[in-house]
Amino acid sequence: MAEDNAITLAQRMALDRIAPQTWRSRHSDVNQNGRSYGGQLLGQAFHAALLDAPPGREPTMMQFLFLQGAMPDKPVDYTVSGLQSGKRFHSVDVRGTQGDRTVLQAQVSCASLLDGPMHARPSLAPADEDPEHLPRLAQVPSALRDQLAQMGGYGRDVNDCIEFRIPDAERQLAGATADHRFRYWMRVPHSLPDAPRLQAACFAYLSDWWLNFCSMAPHLKRAGERQIYITSLNHGVWLHQVPRCDGWLHVASESLHAVHGRGLSVAHYHDLEGRHVATAIQDCLLAYVD
């Protein structure tokens, strides 16, 4: 089941129906800890929840618990159970299992689009910033990437389904200047089908990428002093509109708190036109292992 890099993100989200309201994954990515990449589970769970959602309901929210590490060489079965189906809202529970192990649980909501007051957080991306001209991670000085690698394996990440650019990379990644805020750009580097529910699943996949780095960044100056283990515990996604993941998304992330081996991060996602398309929050395990 380990991933072939030639497989597109849409293919990585593909699920096979194996029973009523139960879907099985076809593909799995591997993370730095040798488990399934969290974004893969997020995206597939969101996709399973949306496959039988009623028409006219836009995906709006997912709240997700990582319960046990999923093994990348085995498929995950996603069982969807109804929670609510009314005139405006449709909500389901998704349970992911590998054999007798429950590895995840999620709640997903869809809603009709209603008329109401509007406001939005502005993008923090400078108006003249072009992600096409920003460095890729591989172009960041090797000394910085070596320092990052001592903090939970960051700096060695490679994912052919995510194009990742870092503005002001040396300031944001150097231990002397990094802080609890981190900006970056990302997109899927190949075209995706014009299918909003698949696009929502693909966004959930992307939303796990480097989100918890801002919880670790303030401690880069002490990289290597003590070994750190980092992994996702729970994750929330709110879609203000369904993002186009094959277009650039600007991410402004901030760690609100880290204590007792856990770090809390929030991120705001804007498209190239500056529209606030989504928000994500993640609680991660951030603990010394010695």
Distances in Å between the Cα of 218 and the Cα atoms of 76, 96, 100, 289 are: 35, 34, 39, 18
Answer with the residue of higher pLDDT: 207 or 226.
207
Over residues 10-26, mean pLDDT: 97
Over residues 182-193, mean pLDDT: 97
CA angle (103 as vertex; 185, 31 as ends), nearest 5: 40
* Angstrom distance (rounded) from CA 94 to CA 103: 11
The residue assigned the tokens 């993002």 is: 243
What tokens does 151 get? 């903090």
Answer with the residue of higher pLDDT: 175 or 180.
180
Q: Kindly report the pTM of this predicted structure.
A: 0.95
Q: Are the CB atoms for 284 and 261 separated by under 8 Å?
A: no
- Our count of domains for the chain comes to 1
- Residue 4 pLDDT > 60, yes or no? no
- Residue 155 pLDDT > 70, yes or no? no
CATH number for the domain spanning 221: value is 2.40.160.210
**Residue 138: inside a domain:** yes
**Residue 8 gets which letter from DSSP?**
-
- Residue 92 pLDDT > 80, yes or no? yes
**Residue 68: inside a domain:** yes
Return the pLDDT at 226. 86
**Residue 3: inside a domain:** no
Return the pLDDT at 37. 92
pLDDT single digits (tens) 25-45: 999 888 877 889 999 999 999
Q: Are the CB atoms for 172 and 220 separated by under 8 Å?
A: no
Return the pLDDT at 2. 46
**Residue 179: inside a domain:** yes
Range of the domain at 247: 9-113+134-288
* Angstrom distance (rounded) from CA 201 to CA 47: 5
**Residue 86 gets which letter from DSSP?**
-
The residue assigned the tokens 């996604």 is: 237
Average pLDDT of the chain is 93
Amino acid (1-letter code) at residue 252: A
pLDDT single digits (tens) 211-252: 999 999 999 888 888 888 889 999 999 999 999 999 999 999
**Residue 72: inside a domain:** yes
Return the pLDDT at 224. 80
**Residue 50: inside a domain:** yes
Return the pLDDT at 223. 81
**Residue 193: inside a domain:** yes
**Residue 47: inside a domain:** yes
Over residues 106-119, mean pLDDT: 97
Return the pLDDT at 153. 67
